[in-house]
Chain A
Amino acid sequence: MTTPMLEIRDLHATAGETLILKGIDLVIQPGEVHAVMGPNGSGKSTLANVLAGKPGYEIVSGSVRFEGRDLAGLAPEQRAREGIFLAFQYPVEIPGVSNMYFLKQAVNAVRAHRGIEELDAMEFLQLVREKMKLVEMSDALMQRSLNEGFSGGEKKRNEILQMALLDPKLAVLDETDSGLDIDALRVVADGVNALRSPTRSMLVITHYQRLLDHIVPDFVHVLSGGRIVRSGNKGLALELEEKGYGWLQQAGEAGAQRAEGERSSIRAEATTG
């Protein structure tokens, strides 16, 4: 059996002083796209930040393994170099640092770690030109300060451009659809879909089902109260769209208890079927 890309076992994690994740189990195999859905405050963004290693987010118990390696204690830049990419819900604006310069520094930092020769300015320009087409980025955006004054859509496209350039093994997309109109959503989703591959896994975090019309997941998990309360295939997303998240509260603790067994049986079904 192959080593999972990501293996989360009984993860309990805090954001600041507060315990947010209360026992997450999730296994993602190479090439799989998993969606995590859930209402506000369910712990979706905390899960993304824990995976990326954001300071202030602590694992208190359980484990997170990436390609079999424990992520605890690994700095954010080390995770990025190893192949974990987080597409931010709110990409940070950085005045005075040009987008092009930033991308080149990032690409070369990752290449250096992987033992690949760093790119000079011309080689980088060629690479970036090619990847820019994926998300319809303009030259003008490359020369501007990183994300500064970018529209919501431009910021998200820039995130996907970074993903394309850094070529991660695991991409975590945190609410990538938020703040996007339908045209921008399509561009971003097309970019993501072009990056799907049997060796790349994705964890798509979203509040709304509409993103999953464009980025069709292999599995869908529902997060509530810091636990995965249901898992299924893409049909689960449609069910949520119809019913909303209200039923989760009614399901309550019972749902949480049931979740693990249910998730396993669905996985079995999906792999055999």
Chain B
Amino acid sequence: MSDAHPERHWSESFGATAASRAGEPAWLEAARKSAIARFVELGFPTRSHEEWKYTNPAPIAKVAWTSAATAPVSRAALDALGLPLTEGPHLVFVNGRLAMELSSVAGLEPAATLRSYRQMLASEPAAIETHLARTEPFDDRAFAALARAFATDGAFVRIPRDYVLERPIWLVFLSAPGAEPGASHPRFTVVAEPSSRATIYEVHATIGAGGHLASALTEIRVGENAQVDHVKLQLEGEGAIHLGHGALHIGRNARASSTLVSLGASIARHDIVALLDGPGAECVLEGLYVTSDGQHVDCRTTVDHRQPHGSSRELFKGVLSGKSRGIFNGRVIVRPGAQKTDAQQKNENLLLSLGAEADSQPQLEIEADDVKCSHGSTIGQLEEDAIFYLRSRGIGEAEAAAMLTRGFAAQICDRVASAAFREHIEALVLARLFARELPA
């Protein structure tokens, strides 16, 4: 395919797959068409875009991706991921399509909604029209436009006013690579109505081997006085490219936490935008990225304080080893009138090898005068004094380094409320840390 105009491949592909969208409501096709037009207008990103300075999109551009075909994934393959799905209702998607046989809504409060977009289109399309057609806050992101144009399905979650969901809701997006390089566009929408409370666990994984592109577009809307705790675990396989766009809309006196654990894929990019839309909104954004040889992860966060009395706490931690790279770009915006905002941002990176590279860029844009904002970033190695302290107690050098590294990551893992999920994540992190050489 032509490197000069890679967007053409996608627009042609959009035209060629029109038949697969037959039967969709006219408003949805209109939204898709406007999305592909927007994508062409924005153009395929290149390194000359400021947003893509640190992550070269050329490896994505040069592949002739096709829409990932339906593929069977067995229960055993899902179970092998070790996710404690029995803790709550779960929808499992394979290559962007709902896998009914792997999903279960058992244990869901009857008043709550957990359905696929397609099920919603059949039963109450009006309830999702505004959500699927919305372009904010990713209107200027080319890959979000692609997800709006191409997404085959997605999950819709609604928690009614005043309801507290005891069990987490799991949204699992699996990619099963085929012979052709396949692209899928996982989507979900969570609507937490006023004074409701829910926990959402989002997982992206690869079943089998091979490269694939997962370009996700997700949205969590937290109504007045509601609370949503969200965890995203990305553990896709080698050769995978993960492009995530996650939006949080946080209303008046509402609380949202979003914890990212990014372990997999060869290239992973997480574009997270939190919009503090109501006065007194609270937001906690956390992330842990662990990379080894050949991996590249790019976390971009925007915390947009639009109303007064909001607070945000942001902590992203990178553990980088082998020849790998981790990038954190954290933008905090305090709009005029968002007085009494209290925003804190921190990025800490631990380099475990000489070939590992970390970039950390805080960006504060403060347009109100009565605010508290702080940011800080560190890039360093394991502290020699700490290693000596552990060794002086009889703990071997490699074990001391492992203990310190695990301790560094624990601060993020500890955010996961489900003990079973937290232990699973810790085990995955450990497996990745121990699979590689520790510094001598």
Contact = CB atoms under 8 A, between A and B. Distances in A.
A86 interface: yes
Nearest to A101: B403
B397 A77 contact: yes
A91 B389 contact: yes
Contacts of B127: none
B407 A94 contact: yes
A54 interface: yes
Interface in B397-416: 397, 399-400, 403-404, 406-411
Contacts of B394: 77, 80-81, 106, 109-110, 113, 166
Contacts of A102: 390, 393, 403
A109 B397 CA distance: 12
Contacts of A166: 393-394
B54 interface: no
A75 B386 contact: no
Most chain A CB within a 10 A radius of its CB, from B389, B392, B404: B392
Contact of A105 (B397, B399, B408): B399
B385 interface: yes
A147 to B, nearest CB: 9
B375 interface: no
Interface in A198-216: none
B389 to A, nearest CB: 4
Contact of A94 (B384, B396, B399, B404): B404
A64 interface: no
A117 B411 CA distance: 32
A106 B399 CA distance: 11
A95 interface: yes
A88 interface: yes
Interface string A150-185: 000000000000100010000000000000000000
Size range of the chain A interface in the assembly? 20 to 34
A97 B393 contact: no
B407 A77 contact: no
Nearest to B414: A96
A109 B396 contact: yes
A80 B390 CA distance: 10
Contacts of A54: 388, 392
A52 interface: yes
A80 B397 contact: no
B393 A80 contact: yes
Interface in A4-18: none
A96 B393 contact: no
A96 B391 contact: no
A76 B388 contact: yes
Contacts of B128: none
A106 B407 contact: no
A52 B393 CA distance: 10
A233 B29 CA distance: 94
B395 interface: yes
Contacts of A42: none
B426 to A, nearest CB: 11
Contact of B391 (A80, A88, A97): A80
A92 interface: yes
A162 B393 contact: yes
A88 B384 CA distance: 15
A76 B392 contact: yes
B407 A92 contact: no
A94 B389 CA distance: 10
Contacts of A55: 384, 388
Contacts of A77: 391-397, 400
A145 interface: yes
Across the A-B interface, give the 5 residue pairs with the lowest CB-CB distance, nearest first: A96-B407, A96-B410, A106-B393, A80-B394, A97-B407
7 contacts: A52-B392, A76-B388, A77-B394, A92-B383, A94-B403, A105-B399, A105-B403
Given A76-B392, A105-B399, 14 more contacts: A79-B392, A80-B394, A81-B394, A92-B383, A92-B389, A94-B386, A94-B389, A96-B411, A97-B404, A102-B390, A109-B395, A145-B407, A162-B393, A166-B393
Interface of B: 383-386, 388-397, 399-400, 403-404, 406-411
